[in-house]
Amino acid sequence: MNTKLLKLFVGTIVLLLTISCKVAPEAIEYGKDQCNFCKMNIVDQTHSAQFVTAKGKQFKFDAIECMVHYFGESSEEKIAISLVADYANPGEMTDAETATYLISEGIKSPMGANLSAFSVKSTAEEFQQKHSGEIFTWELLKQKLSDK
């Protein structure tokens, strides 16, 4: 009888621990949340970024370049979800690894890298035609920003 009760108790604890470690992004509270890298308030809905660790811990950034620089100081292995603001759709986030990036002096970002993300490559190309600049994938962007 005691072993059944013990198994039930252990099973309940494991279930509760699994449920409490929710790995999902929380909405950025613009004007309230602070950047985990530079400590500035996050106010720009077109350049923000965030990631969630495998354990569910939230990290939010006022600019994509802040997140990339933060990755340079820590290990990316434990990241479950990484998101960036879609410049063409303010307030909407898109997967950082599949987004297309544009660095253009015609589009200013909060930390001065002039870096914007787009969920659709053709939209990034349209903005490139209007504002000039250079297009990057996630991997090429990380390389470029780490070279500086």
Domain residue ranges of the chain, discontinuous segments joined by +: 28-147
* Distance, CA of 62 to chain centre: 10
Model pLDDT, residue 1: 54
Q: Tens digits of per-residue pLDDT, 69-112? A: 998 776 655 889 999 999 999 999 999 999 999 999 999 999 99
Q: For the ranges 10-14, 87-91, 127-131, which has the lowest average pLDDT?
A: 10-14
Q: 104, 84, 99: which is closest to 138 by C-alpha?
A: 99
What mean pLDDT do residues 109-119 have?
96
DSSP states of 3-31: HHHHHHHHHHHHHHHHHHS---PPPP-TT
Report the C-alpha gap between 5 and 20 in whole angstroms.
23
Task: Classify the C-alpha dihedral 20-25-26-31 as positive or negative.
Answer: positive
Q: Tens digits of per-residue pLDDT, 31-68? A: 999 999 999 999 999 999 999 998 899 999 999 999 99
- Tokens representing 14? 């494991």
The pLDDT-based confidence of 126 (bands split at 50, 70, 90) is: very high
Buried b (16+ CB within 10 A) or exposed e, 70-93: bbeeeeeeebebbbbbbbbeeeeb
Q: By the 8 A CB rule, do 145 and 113 touch?
A: yes
What mean pLDDT do residues 107-129 have?
96
Model pLDDT, residue 10: 60
Residue 7 has pLDDT above 70, yes or no: no
